[in-house]
């Protein structure tokens, strides 16, 4: 006898192409907080958060109330046709939250990729230069330009070329696997200084409009630079009048215990992109930046029909209230402390965990077959994700070798749910190493 899941899976196979990948085989029926219930009634603890979209949890009452209230007033006018308050109010709030003692402006789009596209457009327009420098292990999206900026070939780029021109790529601050074969802190953060050499051997500084970088690389494996990295990078960008774009699509909206992850490094970027958890699951992204850069494009040069949809903007305003006024950002910081202590303990007891890294509750375990050789444990990571799912925990892998387990659970997760999830993870690690 077939189940509701079986029926839906057959329908999915018949009507939806294989391109949109499914990490788990589950179909959702409902979700609240950090718990999901599938169509067969099975409970799942959510350590994935819709890939970093649900920092305030599934169906937070304040978000749901804001969406309902706005939907009963008006759903869409197109901001270019008839303006509305939620767009302007949200822009004002984000301008105040973004680091930097200089005038800022914010525009909205629908997705993280759109935000990145618009940030690059604004930087190119303002600087009158064509080139953009991105990094190894980076992920910036799946559109033509953002796919070009993205580093990993499979599955994101394979077969989709040719790619956008004037994009150049340099090594990132991956201390665990230093591309220069050095060791921190004796290296003196040579990976940042390398930008000067990059201008000689790859693209001239005079041709470069922007350097785009994730403060913590998301899909690349939660790679987290050392404390000095961004100050050095920014100093070089300022020397050559190059815009520093920080992509906070995954790391922003409180994911690291600060509203913007870049705050951990004490740097004020020229432009910041934000999406995912900004609107708790509603499609919304933002480009926040220096007024002289983001305001440079001519009237009509930026925008889109659905960009800054009023329902999404109201959801985002509710998210800001929850994070900043209801204390959820503080909960994120305490959650990060709990996770870091547990992960350090797991690392001591499980040789397969080569590295623990991240900020706040945006943490990752890099799995290796051998700690000396650091050979990526790709198959083991895949099996660990499956073992966890079989026991009722949804976790995600990432990294160029897909050997990194990352945590993106909602901050509203209860202590009991967190403990159950961590127990499942530990039990699955035990099984993995005994296999």
Indicate whether 434 pLDDT > 90: no
* Mean model confidence pLDDT for the chain: 97
Confidence of residue 435 (pLDDT cuts 50, 70, 90): confident
What backbone phi and psi angles, to 5 degrees, belong to 127?
-90, -15
pLDDT at residue 45, rounded to an integer: 98
Give the mean pLDDT of 347-370.
98
Residue 66 is assigned to a structural domain of this protein: no
Same-domain pairing of 258 and 125: yes
pLDDT at residue 231, rounded to an integer: 98
CA dist 232 and 196 (Å) reads 11
Residue 315 is assigned to a structural domain of this protein: yes
Give the mean pLDDT of 368-380.
98
Asked if residue 169 lies in contact with residue 136, where contact means CB atoms within 8 angstroms, the answer is: yes
Confidence of residue 149 (pLDDT cuts 50, 70, 90): very high
Q: What is the CATH number of the domain that holds 242?
A: 3.40.640.10
What is the tally of structural domains in the chain? 2
Confidence of residue 259 (pLDDT cuts 50, 70, 90): very high
Same-domain pairing of 21 and 107: no
Indicate whether 1 pLDDT > 80: no
CA dist 80 and 305 (Å) reads 8
Peptide bond into 155 cis (omega under 30): yes
pLDDT at residue 123, rounded to an integer: 98
Indicate whether 271 pLDDT > 80: yes
Same-domain pairing of 86 and 187: yes
H and E: helices and strands count for the chain: 13, 15
Of 283, 305, 325, which residue sits at a domain end?
325
Confidence of residue 33 (pLDDT cuts 50, 70, 90): very high
Same-domain pairing of 312 and 336: no
pLDDT at residue 219, rounded to an integer: 97
pLDDT at residue 368, rounded to an integer: 98
What angle do the packed helices 310-320 and 61-71 form, to 10 degrees?
150
- Give the range of the structural domain holding residue 275, as residue numbers without chain letter: 74-325
Same-domain pairing of 344 and 310: no
Tell me the residue ranges of DSSP E strands in 294-434. Answer: 353-359, 362-367, 393-394, 396-398, 404-406
Residue 67 is assigned to a structural domain of this protein: no
Residue 69 is assigned to a structural domain of this protein: no
Residues paired with residue 292 on neighbouring β-strands, in sequence order? none
Helices (H), 98-188: 112-127, 144-149
Tens digits of residue pLDDT in 180-211: 999 999 999 999 999 999 999 999 999 999 99
Kindly state the percentage of the chain with pLDDT values over 90. 99
pLDDT at residue 316, rounded to an integer: 98
Indicate whether 44 pLDDT > 90: yes
Indicate whether 177 pLDDT > 90: yes
């Amino acid at each position: 006898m077939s189940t509701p899941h079986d029926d839906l899976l057959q329908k999915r196979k018949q009507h939806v192409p294989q391109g949109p990948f499914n990490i788990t085989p589950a179909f959702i029926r409902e979700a609240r907080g950090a718990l999901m219930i599938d169509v067969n009634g099975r409970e799942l603890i959510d350590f994935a958060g819709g890939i970093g979209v649900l920092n305030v949890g599934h169906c937070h009452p304040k978000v749901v109330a804001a969406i309902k209230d706005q939907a009963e007033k008006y759903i869409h006018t197109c901001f270019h046709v008839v303006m509305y308050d939620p767009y302007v109010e949200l822009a004002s709030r984000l301008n105040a939250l973004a680091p930097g003692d200089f005038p800022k402006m914010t525009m909205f789009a629908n997705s993280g990729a759109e935000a990145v596209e618009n940030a690059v457009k604004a930087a190119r327009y303002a600087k009158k230069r064509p080139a953009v420098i991105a990094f190894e292990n980076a992920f910036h999206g799946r559109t033509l330009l953002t796919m070009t900026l993205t580093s990993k070939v499979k599955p994101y780029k394979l077969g989709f070329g040719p790619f956008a021109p004037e994009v150049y790529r340099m090594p990132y601050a991956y201390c665990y696997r230093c591309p220069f074969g050095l060791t921190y802190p004796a290296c003196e953060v040579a990976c940042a200084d390398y930008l000067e050499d990059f201008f000689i051997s790859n693209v001239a500084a005079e041709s470069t409009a922007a350097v785009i970088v994730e403060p913590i690389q998301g899909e690349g494996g939660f790679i987290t630079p050392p404390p000095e990295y961004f100050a050095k990078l920014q100093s070089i960008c300022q020397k050559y009048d190059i815009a520093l774009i920080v992509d906070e699509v995954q790391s922003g909206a409180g994911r690291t215990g600060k509203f913007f992850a870049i705050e951990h490094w004490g740097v004020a970027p020229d432009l910041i992109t934000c999406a995912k958890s900004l609107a708790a699951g509603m499609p919304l992204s933002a480009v926040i930046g220096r007024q002289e850069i983001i305001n440079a494009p001519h009237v009509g040069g930026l925008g889109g029909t659905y960009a800054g949809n009023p329902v999404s903007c109201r959801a985002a305003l509710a998210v800001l209230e929850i994070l900043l006024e209801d204390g959820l950002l503080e909960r994120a910081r305490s959650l990060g402390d709990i996770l870091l202590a547990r992960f350090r303990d797991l690392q001591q007891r499980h040789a397969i965990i080569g590295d623990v890294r991240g900020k706040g509750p945006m943490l990752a375990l890099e799995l290796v077959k051998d700690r000396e050789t650091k050979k990526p444990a790709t198959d083991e990571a895949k099996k660990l994700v499956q073992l966890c799912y079989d026991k009722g925990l949804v976790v995600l892998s990432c990294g160029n070798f897909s050997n990194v387990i990352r945590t993106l659970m909602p901050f509203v997760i209860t202590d009991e749910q967190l403990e159950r999830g961590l127990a499942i993870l530990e039990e699955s690690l035990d099984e993995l190493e005994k296999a």
